[in-house]
Structure 1
């Protein structure tokens, strides 16, 4: 058998386990939070920013590849080379430059490389015509006149016209020869705005040869304009002593490579700060755990201690109403049930005490009647004559009288079989018959199947005695009829006489007596039987008086109880 422990100790252990479990839960939650935070705000956001930027470059590179070639072969641009329709050409080129998210500056050159039309400021036009990178692109165009040439072209122009990449195409004449050049330079400011929208810390954009088109930090480029960041797919890197999570993907047929980088220094600082705070909370909880455990245990068990005190008082014999403190609803329900139980115990004790007293009075009254000198004298006198006249009958009288005495004084239980109690009544009536002779007759009719049911001891005899005593006072002959039958699922016994009956006043007096809490000595036998049945079986059972023209019927209602059932 498992060793019992005190509930107080169990509550303390349970609360301490709860605190330790809470600490472990906080640690686990912190780890999960760090992992989820890293996955969402580092890995996912960095990859998402790379995809978003790549989609823009894919779209714009396609737009410039196709658009620059088509514009260079358009009639408006070819006419502008000849000095015609310049305003119209200017509007057309300007609209194309700002049609997408990456804006560009344009320049329309003649075959000698001089600017015919452009949106560049005058100071920037001169630099543009003399720039070595522009001259190099024009030479590449003459080698591939049917293609749109794109290349890294860093132009450090002023007035926000700096650029980093160029798309160029030849403007052919009617015979297909070079008549001029059309160049669009993608603005660096547009690339910077696009990178700022990505939500990452650093962005590097290169061409297929690792030449930097744009970067958010010059430290990410080397002295030759190459990218200082080498990333394959997604990985952790360190740049200039700082840790980053970087994602790299190619776009636009691998002509553009986009690298997005998120610093994990902030995440490390956040995790370190959270870890320090969490450790502080854990230390405080561990230090406060004994005090918290004591306080919670005492408060939680205050109601149980009060209930235990009330139980000990009850065990010590104090079954009065217990005043218990107000507490939680569940404990107040227990308190109410406990006090209800005490009230029920007090009621049962009072009921049992009254029942025992009624039984004692019934037995004392019966013994008084049987040991009454007048009753015994009559029995002995009748016995003396019967011995001379009919010895056999005299023997029966002796046996009946002995049975009567034995049944009255034995104490082998509070209930007997109905057949046993009826045999006692038969012995009693036989002796009374010998006393009164022809003045008394009786019949007993009990259904045989009812003789084994259980009834209170000395149940019928007081009713029979009452009928004889009050019936023969005023008439010459009395006939008693005792019956037993099933009625409404219970047992119904009746004692009927053909005596003088009752007056209205007497009948009202008897009814009041049966409803009263106590009885006058004159009617204590009838009242004791009625009260005993009520105490044993409830208010639905008891004695009922039926008044007739000649005589009275006393009805006893009680439940059918068989051997082995509680009476």
Structure 2
């Protein structure tokens, strides 16, 4: 016995060690792949959006630069300014200047103001209002003119900013008469109009000159009090509480630098997804570890008990039956031996017992098919929401926790309908988060229904079936759950607004559900399993029936007859014999 215990302990430890190493490897690889995948996907998308934004801003700047430069150097403006320089007091010259600039503004999306001065820096014409033409603007204009003359450039560029807000880009040129400078034209391109021009874009942007002076910005706070923007490279950039993915492009020909800022918030989806992976990995590891630990003990005990039981029979006790409930191959071998002995000794006497054992086995198998299916679908919802809706994923996790707690911690086979509907409520919440406004469920259950005991997870496969066959074909998914009690029979109805079932297929399903025999079933496994499960547990009068009205939709009716259960207990064989009134 000591040797067997040592062998069992060694087997148990080796198995647990292998399970631990492989579990940790699987969980670590899953987390690493998830984090890398999310990070690469997020960075790739943001970089692509930043590239497209840079292209858009550069194209807008090029268009604006070309139109304003053409206007500034155009012959029409040259003639109008020359006439104004020759006779500043002539109203016709002033009117011509006003009309010319107004026509130009009508042809371009971003507005501008113009200031014309003579060689003595006297303002001959300005489109600025009298309040906007401050002494600061006048002095700044003269300073830029001085720099423009010294630069020798045909069109000199500068940036004008006063008292915060959006800066204006200045384009300045001289007007020459007789080989000498007779005056200057200064064009102030509106920074606030540039912001409006990009207001519908899904990004922020800044354009600066070589000295980091902000020429154009989509938001005034990006420029700051000094109208400067710089020191930002490609990648993540924080501005206060906001995070951006920054794209940068140098335009050496125009002497500008373009920044595209794509909103890049903290990736809560990545954090939540990692927590989910860790949680599921830990749960999986603990489950496998528990199974591996018990496997060695069960195997050793099962072999010892099976040999002991067989020895009793071989020693002459022919009426003895092997009692081994291990839930594995040893139990199947013991059951096969018992069936063989029962057949040889008293086939008729033990026939009902065999039916009971087969019925209980089949019922446990049918129940086992439904629970993993629901868990799989719920995890799929969490996986999808984790990529796009962190808050929705968090709500689904809470509902899933409630459902799992109900499924795992509740050991009884039956609960009141009220308790089961509380679980259904959590399940429906998951579906509501998944489908949003497309999904609606109405529940009409009188108090007398809620007090009756039913199998756990009773209506979940029917609701899941309605969702499966409705959501792909209908813009709205509507489910109606109602119930009634007549005599000792509880009837629950689940109806949807789906496409229904064709008449020929409907008749076939109805006949199969009446027979409670689905050896040749093809499709609608959930309905078959549920009906067979109720029939095995409660006997005749219990099961599932269906109909598909001509007006559309599909309705499943679940019937549970409690009279036989109360009168003759839960033995399926006894109910079949005695409950002949159903």
Q: Is this a same-fold pair by TM over 0.5? A: no
What's the TM-score, normalizing by structure 2? 0.40
Larger Rg: 1
